[in-house]
Structure 1
Amino acid sequence: MKLQPQSSADAVAQRLAQTATRCLIDEARLSPKPGLVDSRGNGAHSDLSLSLMERSAHSLTPTFFALAQQCWRRPADVALRQLIGRLGREGEQSMMAATNGVNTHRGAIWALGLMVSSCAMLSGNATASAISEQAARLAQLPDQAAPTVFSKGLRASHRYRVPGAREEAAQGFPHVMKRGLPALLHSRAQGASEQHAMLDALMSIMTTLSDTCVLSRAGMVGLEAMQQGANAVLKAGGCASRAGRQQLADLDQTMLRLNASPGGAADLLAATLFIDRVALPAS
């Protein structure tokens, strides 16, 4: 197979970067999300807003573009993994500069950065399973330059002995592939609006995710409330049903009362949207 001209590779890289940014914005605007920033307000956050989330998302477009360019048709090896890590950390610095030091999308840089990189490695032309498997191979490789400072999420993962963002990626993003994406597609097939389908995808992710953002803010009480509340939404018929929307409103109030925000689930919803928009249909 002949290599595409560089201009074609750049065009694909631009498309992947713009899609990743759009997914972050669509996730942020999606409403009503329990405890999260959305079009209604700031959720459980005092330092975040929708405009800040959107500014953060736009600041990451050059990072996603650089990842796609540098990963174009390259094999997964330690050198590439370290390059991806460096570009991701530079992207985090750009994000922090755009938000005046507020962590808006650190987890999303990790998840979407791996997805963008993996898709570019596969010429921007692969199925969802191929992209997720490639992302897992990347996540399993070492990055010796990665900082040793523990983030809040990593501390929560260790404290409560639950898997976190690193394990999710190394396993091929099971909450995207087995929860978010199937729920999104199922709700669409049932005639749900795009808003309700995306909310159902978020609920499905939340039913089993050990969301370290919630654990950091509200401990196991908050995590169990999130998982049980999301399950109640889906059991009531999902967000397209009146009963499901009432359960969603109850979950929102619970998350606000506990000062809990499922930011990890939100990052994985953005990754779900990305896979949905760029992946080829499975044969």
Structure 2
Amino acid sequence: MSYSLVLSFTDYDLATNTMDPVGGENFVQLVENPRVLMSLGNTFTFAVMAVPLELAMALLMALLLNSVRRGAGLFRVIYYLPKMTPAVATAAVFLLLLNGNQGAINKFLDAIGIQGPQWLLDPNWVKPSIVIMSVWAVAGSAVILLAALQAVPEELYESAAIDGAGPLRRFTKITLPMISPTIFFLVITLTIASLQVFDQAYLLFYRDGADSSAPEAALFYGIYLYQQAFQQFNFGLAAAMAWLLFAIILLITLVQFLVGRRFVHYESGEGS
């Protein structure tokens, strides 16, 4: 990290292994380069779409797994298998599923009378396509939530049931407050992962190296950083981009901690 910080203030020549100091020129370029701002916008939009959906799907999966009594171990293995699938294999599957003409998803939509979009060509559907691919591997978060659900004392549910609380009320008044620290942890980690999104977009749109043919909606910050570092060899600019992303993630995480204190319940009494 220290080396990359030094690198961000230089113009590094890979051929001669020399660094020419340029002051803050690389950081000025971050503001002046429209593709940097566009990639940041794409990344933020993706994060806003992906994090709530991934969290909701993980919670739903955890609730389903927690309700299983017989064969629970088998179901947990089945649910977790997508997380173990290599990213390249997952991308190959989704390239087939999301094909606008022959894809299985559009064929299913046609069967129920809905015309499916061109998932990988229409700019309006590029980010939802990547979100769908991200949700596929949400089992890691589900396992963490499952552990939190199983740690909730059963006597709390029994007392609430005696008082006449229904399933929805028990969920909102007992389950959610008791697992709120885990939800808060996942919000932070999923946000950080979403702001660093790379694999899904690269494998779907840049796997052949044809950057010019990829839609601008798929140009995420991590993709553009990779292009600058390892295709254009602008290592100084790429290092500056990395430090800007670090600062953004740090700021967002601090805001999440400040806001999260109001909603997170801790058994020690901290929070609300």
Same fold (TM over 0.5): no
Greater relative contact order (Cα < 8 A, sep 6+)? 2
Pair member with larger Rg: 2
Using the size of structure 2 for normalisation, the TM-score is 0.27
Using the size of structure 1 for normalisation, the TM-score is 0.26
